[in-house]
Amino acid sequence: MKSHEFASLLCSRLCHDLLSPIGALNNGIELLSDESDPEMRARCLDLLGESARASANKLKFFRLAFGAAGGFAEEVDTRDARGAIEGLFGGDGRIQIGWMIEEPTMSKAALKILLNLSLIAGDALVRGGRLDIGAERHDGGTDIVIRAEGTRIILDPELKRVLNGENEGEVAPRAAAAWLVRSLIEEGGGQLQLMDEDEGVLMLGAALRR
């Protein structure tokens, strides 16, 4: 896939994910302008606040997962990744986040892989659950493990095909994260593991050589 094709794919994904919270903001403003009851106005303001936080959290996550995280620095603070993941998935208590990373920094490529695998695993927890995130450096490389556990896990077949390198032709916008993960791992001479045989558990792992 060429760079401009991936840019188009990514834009479609971002627009899809941001449509809901931004649409809620627009609806809330319209309701607020027509509402005179103090109690209802307060409720509208609460909804506007929730939608604004959701939009900000998504943008923060997408900037790190898809954008130029850390500017021109080669290493990125892992606390930024933790904050982005907790903001995206941990805000409403539906998904519990287990953070098992002691490394203070990670390379840009490793951080993007970790974030995008976390996005894929978190989205698969359709009824909530637990998302454990671990990473460790060794011998110049990095091992990343993401474990999702819940009462119902659905991994989109398109994402699974792309992660396994089995896709042919065009990639759907919803698989942008999977395509980026696969590309970064191949560029880094690494390996990807996906295990979803156990009911209620999804494991995603990446072994990077550099």
Burial status of residue 195 (CB atoms within 10 A of its CB: 0-12, 13-18, 19 or more): exposed
Average pLDDT on 7-33 reads: 79
Per-residue pLDDT at 72: 54
Alpha-helical (H) ranges within 35-148 are 38-66, 78-89, 108-124
Range of weakest confidence among 36-45, 108-117, 131-140, 178-187: 36-45
The helix (H) or strand (E) run that includes residue 10 is helix 3-34
Average pLDDT on 86-113 reads: 92
Largest Cα span, the chain: 64
Total Cβ atoms within 10 A of residue 143: 16
- Domains for the chain: give ranges and CATH numbers: 3-208 (3.30.565.10)
